[in-house]
Amino acid sequence: MLLMTLVLAAGPMNTKPIEDELLKKFGEAQRARVERGVRQTAALWRKEDGDLAAFARDNFLTEQKELDDTFARFEANFEQLDGHLLEIGRELQKATALDVGPLLKVDPYFAEYDPGAHLTEDLFRNKLGFVVLLNFPLTTLEQRLAAKDWSRQQWAEARLAGRFARRVPAEVQQAITTASAGASLYIDAYNVWMHHVLAEKGERLFPSGMRLISHWNLRDELKAQYADKDGLARQRIIIKVMERIVTQTIPAAVIDNPTVDWNPFTNTVVAAAEGTIEADAPKKPAAPSTKPEPDVRYKKLQANWAAQKKADPYSPTAPTAIDRAFSLGAEMPEARVKELLEAVLASPLVPKIAAEIEKKVGRKLEPADLWFNGFLPRGSIAEKDLDAKVRAKYPNAQAFAKDIPRILQGLGFPADRAKYLSERILVDPSRGAGHALQAARRGDFPHLRTRVEKDGMNYKGYNIAVHELGHNVEQVFSLYDVDHTLLAGVPNTAFTEAIAFVFQAKDLELLGVGKPDAEAERLRVLNDFWMTWEIASVALVDIEVWHWMYDHPKATPAQLRDATVEISKKIWNKYCAPVLGGKDTPLLGIYSHMISYPMYLFNYPLGHLIAFQIEEQVKKTGKIGPEIERMSKLGAVTPDAWMVHASGEPVSAGPLLRATEAALKK
């Protein structure tokens, strides 16, 4: 007898008649699978999808060989679908992401187009998504976190079914891509010409031609000034620039414009004298206006939130972008992540490290010391000397690409594995600060992108390139060497950041500048703690801002700006002001990730904690390469499962806190 299918529009579907029919056909031994499969399918079935009972009768699988063969077919075909769609999107975004010449008016439109926006909905409409839900188990975060003895097949099946846990309409997914692309393009073009940024009394303290992207290059230039005995004045200028960006009191005329001079202390703008304008600078008309940027920063942030919010009704188990970032993206509850961050932020070790920094700088600490890097060897080397060394070595992106095998061997990879990796990593000159773009199918390769100036790569670009190389190495191993491509990748973004941090910490050693001794190792631990402390405070700002947007859905961009400033001040005053002063500075709101990478920043402090655990494991063997390869091949299981495999214990702040305490006692 044919069964009538109830539709979701009329309320929860009564699936018992369908279950009874399948049990009659396939037997009582299939009860658990029948009940689970039919209910999973019914939860996302729509009236226009047709007759659920008929679909269930035709597509419920009982023979194990047929189930295994079906799983293998899904895995193979999804690798091709995901991989080729990623490649198409990468090519469409090439002009906006890479430094390949002036942008055309059509380029942002290509970048906004998401060729995969319709994929999930298409797979539901042609019933492939429902075949998965009918035959493979959806799992909850709690089940995955509690899994102790799952086979690799079970993990891969969980990832397969997890693809169809939500049914987000294609137009919603496209809106998310459009907002993200717009925010990224805005950030990628946000440069400040420092030769035209004046000190409080009008002096020019930065060299001609220095173009710094916010926030990455501004922060890194601030760090570089610790090597200069007169660097404090330049650091104070950068801090003022950052504060103006956060508060949107920066004049719109000075953004990426070398034809005007700007005093960020008085906020005055004048036309730059003809002899001071860089010869190769973009030709822009001098517009000495003090009219502020019209809250564009917060319009982009709000656009990302609004786009993400459209997906909320289609995510019953994670009904906000915040929930999805933690439970679906990180697979770590928000409360646990915040507990880890606050364990570092509120640690009694913070004032002790601050006291060491005061001794090194010979003065009371200031807000700029949030980014103190004088614990590391590069903190005592002039940036211009590092720039000269890097430019000579890497006049273009391809020179860095050719050097990757040597770099990897310097990290302990055997020559054959270094060759294997270098053949699978492509290097591009980035329009923005730089990033790593993974591949999603075997046969395609990850891309390493870093900024290369006209006269060659500078130290900032090199430092970022070594960081991104860590991402790329993980991306190769966790795609090409993982046993199931449905498990390609790592548990969450923090893990790939952790591996990138391990690489980045070796940048000077790989450049041939210094080799760590016992004291250098002690200082490295203090530096790791300070970096984690810094980014943990920024991450809390990001989380609170997103909660504020959900609590104030009708806010204007100006109200969002004011709220972000107040949240930044509050967290600064609680955690940073006691050791750095600068009460009520909005500095923590400067990170560009807040604008272009929704709910991303918490991955960085987690990454530092994970990186420290990885480094502790690496010490046992003395070779980064083989350990990174072993860890990366585990793929996208849950965070604690990966970390127990990698280092013997779950994700924890304990190793960093214990090592820091020991370092302070030495």
Summarised one tens digit per residue, pLDDT across range 636-665 is 999 999 999 999 999 999 999 999 999 999
Give rounded-to-5 percent helix, strand, coil for the chain: 65, 5, 30
Distance CA 94, CA 88 (A): 10
Task: Report pLDDT digits (tens) over 413-437.
Answer: 999 999 999 999 999 999 887 889 9
Per the DSSP assignment, residues forming a β-bridge with 292 are 251
The predicted model gives 573-585 an average pLDDT of 98
3-state class (DSSP) for residue 326: helix
pLDDT of residue 501: 86
Residue 2 pLDDT exceeds 50: no
Residue 11 pLDDT level (bands cut at 50, 70, 90) = very low
Per the DSSP assignment, residues forming a β-bridge with 427 are 448
Task: Report pLDDT digits (tens) over 148-182.
Answer: 889 999 999 999 999 999 999 989 999 999 999 99
Choice among 105-109, 367-371, 570-574 with the minimum mean pLDDT = 105-109
Which two structure tokens, joined as six digits, stand for 528? 């790791």
pLDDT of residue 280: 76
Centroid of chain to Cα 86: 17
Percentage of the chain lying above the pLDDT 90 cut: 80
The predicted model gives 70-92 an average pLDDT of 97
**Which residues, in sequence order, are CB contacts of 416 under 8 Å at separation 6+?**
none
pLDDT of residue 379: 60
Distance CA 5, CA 14 (A): 8
Residue 32 pLDDT exceeds 90: yes
3-state class (DSSP) for residue 394: coil
Distance CA 171, CA 421 (A): 38
3-state class (DSSP) for residue 447: strand
Task: Report pLDDT digits (tens) over 351-405.
Answer: 999 999 999 999 999 999 999 998 876 666 888 899 999 999 999 999 999 999 9
Percentage of the chain lying above the pLDDT 70 cut: 97
Task: Report pLDDT digits (tens) over 259-293.
Answer: 999 999 999 999 998 889 998 777 777 678 999 99
pLDDT of residue 5: 30
Domain range list for the chain: 8-160, 187-298, 308-375+516-622+638-665, 380-511
Residue 193 pLDDT exceeds 50: yes
DSSP sequence for 110-166: HHH--TTTTHHHHHHHTTHHHHHHHHS----HHHHHH-SS--HHHHHHHHHHHTTS-
Residue 1 pLDDT exceeds 70: no
Residue 100 pLDDT level (bands cut at 50, 70, 90) = confident
The predicted model gives 194-199 an average pLDDT of 97
Distance CA 236, CA 221 (A): 12
Average pLDDT, the chain: 93
Which two structure tokens, joined as six digits, stand for 621? 């063997």
DSSP sequence for 211-248: EEETTHHHHHHHHHGGGSTTHHHHHHHHHHHHHHHHHT
Distance CA 472, CA 496 (A): 9
Residue 68 pLDDT exceeds 90: yes
Residue 323 pLDDT exceeds 70: yes
Residue 518 pLDDT level (bands cut at 50, 70, 90) = confident
pLDDT of residue 529: 97
Which two structure tokens, joined as six digits, stand for 262? 């700007």
Instruction: List own/partner pairs for 27-34 with CB under 8 A and 24 or more apart.
Output: 30/62, 33/62, 33/135, 34/60
Residue 12 pLDDT exceeds 90: no
Which two structure tokens, joined as six digits, stand for 433? 């600060």
The predicted model gives 557-579 an average pLDDT of 98
